[in-house]
Chain A
Amino acid sequence: MGMTVVEKILARAAGRPSVTVGDVVEPRVDLAMSHENAALVINQFQEVYQGTGIAPKVWDPSRIAIIFDHRVPAESPKTATNHKKIRGFVAANGITKFHDVRGDVGGICHQILPEYGYVRPGFVVVGTDSHTTSHGALGAFSFGVGATEMASAWALGIAVNIEVPATIKVVVQGTFPPMVGPKDLILHLIGLLTAQGANFKVLEFHGETIRQMSTSGRIAICNMSVEAGATSGIVPGDAETVRYLREEASVTDAINCVTPDADASYVRIVEINVSALVPQIACPHMVDNVKPIDQVLGIPVQQIVIGSCTNGRLDDLADAAAILRGKKVAEGTRMLVFPASSKIFALALDKGYIHDFMRAGAVVMNSGCGPCLGVHEGALGDNEVALSTTNRNFKGRMGNPTGEVYLCSPVVAAASAITGVITDPRKG
């Protein structure tokens, strides 16, 4: 029987001719990514070696990436001390794929990895962040793990006891109408599957719409695959993957795309046509509480957020800036913009988008996770409402359990910033 993309990747990484759903394999890890929670990984890693008489040593420093993004610059002495501890570990172990709090090479981990060509098609990527699913956009099997599992990978260079997951094939056809795009597609799909509809499964994306989609859009849909519970989202590598890696990530070595066999076995096939899709909104307090925009129009919003690993890339900023250009953010509404990386920030400066945002009254912040996880910058006041291009709207997510978060695309966020209420960008 044929294999899915993830089955092929796992078979190769585990040194087996083939694998099938439910097999337990131990794939070698091609890339192991952490952010600030490397502080906990370091503790667990050192504990592994206690009493062994073996000096703690990571299996391959060139395959470890550490990117500071969750709380940058540090919001507290505790975080600053965690950063300091990680810097020491990075230096002592010769870890080169390290991105500190910097305005040139800093940014959000899920943007930095593709941007610097750290991820390739066919890779097995583990990351101590649930949105590690993002890197499936480049045809890798990429999934989130906890800190202890990462410590194990640092020591052994493999992911221990991985069960080969079943795969759901998602076939997307049609052309997006104006003001509708990848974010609306993934929100629609999560609503369809529910928050646990893909738990322990992979979402493998196919169809003409996906083939035509930029890597930026593919990152957005793979990023949010975890909101349906998926172990990983994956777009089989293709011409666009190669173009992105060559042109945007300056990759010069061989790129080997992995595609599924024609007779691969899927646990479910979901078909979506986007030609009549309307802007989608995930309503409080679950990401699968998805409604077409006409059901939530007019809800007053106190905070607009554009950015994050989901929608902080250059095309997202371009789309939002085009709507805000020459307009003003409504009184009583504040708007925060977080470019996904320093590189994107600089490009947005060159293209004038940052000026568009600032003249409209938005506050442009440094690259990082910002208010998405409620730690740092942009907390909500009691009973306030946010409309955000980020990926989660759980109760308390933006730092206040009485707040409410609606999730949307960059164009919906920009159109709504001008009016101060949830607004359909198609009617601007």
Chain B
Amino acid sequence: MPKVIIALENDISTDDIYPGRFMATVLPTETPQFAFFDRTDFNAALKAKAFPPGSVIVGGENFGCGSSREQACSTLKGYDLAVVARSISRIFLQNSINLGLQVVICPGIEASVGDDLEITADQVLNRSTGKGYDQVKLPAARKGIMDAGGLIAYTRARLMARG
């Protein structure tokens, strides 16, 4: 079962997730090395592949606020992480959906590092505390992009349909 690998405060900015000084790096194969770069220990643990795919970052309110930089999503997607946060900033949420990074809005979430989380269709269950929290469902409009496997595939399908 996925474990919480870091539990973060409110207003985690894209400068925290992916500092601006690495923005000249754009390839999804290269961005992961800079994830949470200024949180030195966490960055080192990510690079050492200390966490299995599906591991969860828990955030507070307004996760991903700030820049539109897509690197903030590709850097986490590169480790196949998931984000569960009380609320998520609009552009980060949209970029995550577009790139296929798993993001869950869960207003009541309470979880600590090491907790086991089970993400169901409409809830997040903290198996370590025995508590369950409702998700805010993503609008159906966005589900189409997720079902297609991201916005590249979705746009490709739309383009092909135009003929």
Q: Which residues of A approach B to under 8 Å, CB–CB?
A: 24, 36-37, 39-40, 43-44, 47-52, 54, 70-71, 75-76, 78-79, 82, 127-130, 132, 144-149, 151-152, 155-156, 160-161, 163, 195-196, 199-200, 229, 231, 286, 373-375, 392, 394-397, 399, 401
Q: Are A392 and B24 neighbours in the complex by a CB distance under 8 Å?
A: no
- For residue B55, CB closer than 8 A to chain A, the reply is no
Query: Complex: how many Å from CA A195 to CA B156?
Result: 35
A397 with B20, Cβ < 8 A, contacts A43-B27, A196-B89 known: yes
- For residue B145, CB closer than 8 A to chain A, the reply is yes
Which A residues lie within 8 Å of B142 (CB)?
A: 161
Which A residues lie within 8 Å of B150 (CB)?
A: 148
Query: Complex: how many Å from CA A199 to CA B15?
Result: 18
Q: Are A24 and B38 neighbours in the complex by a CB distance under 8 Å?
A: no
Separation in Å of the B137 CB from the closest CB of chain A?
A: 13
Query: Complex: how many Å from CA A149 to CA B145?
Result: 11
Q: Which residues of B approach A to under 8 Å, CB–CB?
A: 11, 13, 15-16, 19-21, 23-27, 38, 61-62, 65-71, 73, 87, 89-91, 94-95, 98-99, 139-142, 144-145, 150-152, 154-156, 158-160
Which A residues lie within 8 Å of B141 (CB)?
A: 24, 161, 163
Contact of A199 (CB < 8 Å), options: B16, B26, B87, B98: B87
Contact of A52 (CB < 8 Å), options: B61, B95, B159: B159
Which B residues lie within 8 Å of A145 (CB)?
A: 68, 91, 94
Q: Are A155 and B68 neighbours in the complex by a CB distance under 8 Å?
A: no
Q: Are A375 and B69 neighbours in the complex by a CB distance under 8 Å?
A: no
Query: Complex: how many Å from CA A43 to CA B74?
Result: 14
Which A residues lie within 8 Å of B23 (CB)?
A: 36-37, 70-71, 373, 375
Complex A-B: 18 CB contacts under 8 Å = A24-B141, A40-B70, A48-B152, A48-B155, A51-B156, A52-B156, A128-B68, A148-B152, A149-B151, A152-B155, A161-B141, A161-B142, A373-B15, A375-B24, A395-B13, A395-B15, A396-B19, A396-B20
A396 with B38, Cβ < 8 A, contacts A148-B99, A375-B23 known: yes
Query: Complex: how many Å from CA A39 to CA B23?
Result: 11
Q: Report whether over half of chain B's contact residues are helix, strand or loop; otherwise say mixed.
A: helix
Q: Are A129 and B21 neighbours in the complex by a CB distance under 8 Å?
A: no
Q: Are A160 and B154 neighbours in the complex by a CB distance under 8 Å?
A: yes
Nearest A residue to B13 by beta-carbon distance?
A394
Query: Complex: how many Å from CA A75 to CA B27?
Result: 19
Q: Are A146 and B20 neighbours in the complex by a CB distance under 8 Å?
A: no
Contact of A37 (CB < 8 Å), options: B13, B16, B19, B69: B69
Q: Are A394 and B66 neighbours in the complex by a CB distance under 8 Å?
A: yes
Separation in Å of the A46 CB from the closest CB of chain B?
A: 10
Which A residues lie within 8 Å of B140 (CB)?
A: 24
Q: Are B87 and A155 neighbours in the complex by a CB distance under 8 Å?
A: no
Q: Are A200 and B90 neighbours in the complex by a CB distance under 8 Å?
A: yes
Separation in Å of the B21 CB from the closest CB of chain A?
A: 5
**What 10 A-B pairs are tightest by C-beta distance, nearest first?**
A146-B95, A373-B20, A196-B62, A40-B26, A401-B38, A161-B141, A394-B13, A24-B141, A146-B70, A152-B155
Query: Complex: how many Å from CA A337 to CA B2?
Result: 49
Query: Complex: how many Å from CA A79 to CA B69?
Result: 15
Query: Complex: how many Å from CA A395 to CA B39?
Result: 11
Nearest A residue to B155 by beta-carbon distance?
A152
Which B residues lie within 8 Å of A70 (CB)?
A: 23
Separation in Å of the B34 CB from the closest CB of chain A?
A: 12
Q: Are B151 and A374 neighbours in the complex by a CB distance under 8 Å?
A: no
Query: Complex: how many Å from CA A132 to CA B69?
Result: 13
A130 with B87, Cβ < 8 A, contacts A48-B156, A151-B152 known: no
Which A residues lie within 8 Å of B19 (CB)?
A: 374, 396, 401
A163 with B139, Cβ < 8 A, contacts A149-B151, A199-B62, A396-B19 known: yes
Which B residues lie within 8 Å of A161 (CB)?
A: 141-142, 144-145
